[in-house]
Structure 1
Amino acid sequence: MTNDDDENDIEKAEPVIAAADVQADTVVVTPQILGRAIRANEETKPSPVIVDYAAALSSLPPRKASSAEEIEARRAERRERIEAEKANPTPKLEKINKKKILLDLLRRENGATQAELEAATGWQRHTIRGYIAGTLRKQMAPLGREIACIRAKGAPTLYVIKMKGAEA
Structure 2
Amino acid sequence: MIGALDAPMEALRTLLAGKPPRVAREPGAPRKPREGTKQEQVLAMLRRPEGATVAQIAEATGWAQHTVRGFFAGLKKKGHAVEVKSRERMVGPNKTGAKGSFTIYALCEAPHNA
Question: What is the TM-score when the length of structure 1 is the normalising length?
Answer: 0.36
Q: CA deviation at 1:109?
A: 0.7
Cα deviation digits, residues 138-165 of structure 1 (max 9, x gap): 22x2xxx51112323124211111146x
- What residue is the counterpart of 2:83 in the other structure? 148
- What residue is the counterpart of 2:55 in the other structure? 115
Cα deviation digits, residues 3-58 of structure 1 (max 9, x gap): xxxxxxxxxxxxxxxxxxxxxxxxxxxxxxxxxxxxxxxxxxxxxxxxxxxxxxxx
- What residue is the counterpart of 1:158 in the other structure? 104
Amino acid paired to 1:125: Q
- What residue is the counterpart of 2:77 in the other structure? 138
Once the two structures are aligned, what percentage of the paired residues are identical? Answer: 35
Q: Which ranges of structure 2 fall in alignment gaps of 5 or more residues?
A: 1-33, 91-100
Larger Rg: 1
Q: How many residue pairs are counted as aligned between the two chains? A: 66
C-alpha separation in 2, matches of 1:152 and 1:115: 13
Q: Secondary structure at 1:158's aligned position in 2?
A: strand
Q: CA deviation at 1:115?
A: 1.6
Amino acid paired to 1:148: E
Q: Which ranges of structure 1 fall in alignment gaps of 5 or more residues?
A: 1-93
C-alpha separation in 2, matches of 1:95 and 1:103: 12
C-alpha separation in 2, matches of 1:147 and 1:156: 15
Q: Secondary structure at 1:157's aligned position in 2?
A: strand
Question: What is the TM-score when the length of structure 2 is the normalising length?
Answer: 0.51
